[in-house]
Amino acid sequence: MAEQNADPEVVFSLEKIYVKDISYEAPHVPAIFLEKAAMEVDMQLGIEHSSINPAEGLHEVVLAVTVTARLDKRTAFLTETKQAGIFRITGVPDSELTKVLEIACPNILLPFAREVVNDLVSKGGFPQLLINPVNFEVLYQQKLDGETQDGQAAH
C-alpha cells in the first residue's frame, strides 16, 4: 500500500524588506563630545507580526530596536528603528507559525536593523555601534515561560 504525503509543501520566503519607522536624537551634542566618561549603551528589542493576506500566506514582521547611550546619566543618543519585512509562509502548522514569525523572521531582519542603527550612530558623530547576534529562540522561550508564569499566577 502506497502512503500518500498529505503534508503541504512548506514555503518560506522574504518578499520585501523595508524600514517602517526610524528616529535618532542626540539632545546634548556637541557638548557631550567633549566629555571623557564611559558610554553606557542599552538595547531593547521588540517583535510584532501580523497577517496581511492569509490566503497568500503573507505576514508582516517588524523588529523594533531601541538603543539608548548615556554618559554620566545624560542621553548621548537615542535611536529607534523598526525594520520590517513581508514574508510568505505557507505549509507551516498553525501551532508552529508564531515560532517561525518570532524566531526565523527576526533572524533575517536583524542584520538590516544592525546596519541602520550603526549608520545612524556613525553619522551622528559617535563611534561605530555593532549590535551583537541575538538568540531569538531563547527570547521566544522566555516569552512563553513568562506567559506560563502569568497564567499560573492567575489561578
Q: How does pLDDT run across 96-122, given as a tens digit for each residue?
A: 999 999 999 999 999 999 999 999 999
What is d(CA 100, CA 11) in angstroms, rounded to the nearest whole number?
Answer: 12
Average pLDDT (119-135) is 95
User: What is the homologous superfamily of the domain 11-147 according to CATH?
Assistant: SecB-like (3.10.420.10)
What is d(CA 139, CA 155) in angstroms, rounded to the nearest whole number?
Answer: 25
Q: Which amino acid type is present at position 135? A: N
- Give percent of the chain with pLDDT exceeding 70: 91
Record the pTM: 0.87
Q: Give long-range contacts, CB 8 A cutoff, 24+ apart: 98-104.
A: 98/49, 99/140, 100/12, 101/47, 101/49, 101/59, 101/61, 102/47, 102/49, 102/136, 102/139, 102/140, 102/143, 103/136, 103/137, 103/140, 104/12
The answer to whether the beta carbons of residues 11 and 88 sit under 8 Å apart is yes
Structure confidence at residue 7 as a pLDDT band (50, 70, 90): low
Cis peptide before 27 (omega within 30 of 0): no
The answer to whether the beta carbons of residues 28 and 89 sit under 8 Å apart is no
Q: Which residue has the higher pLDDT, 155 or 99?
A: 99
What is d(CA 64, CA 14) in angstroms, rounded to the nearest whole number?
Answer: 18
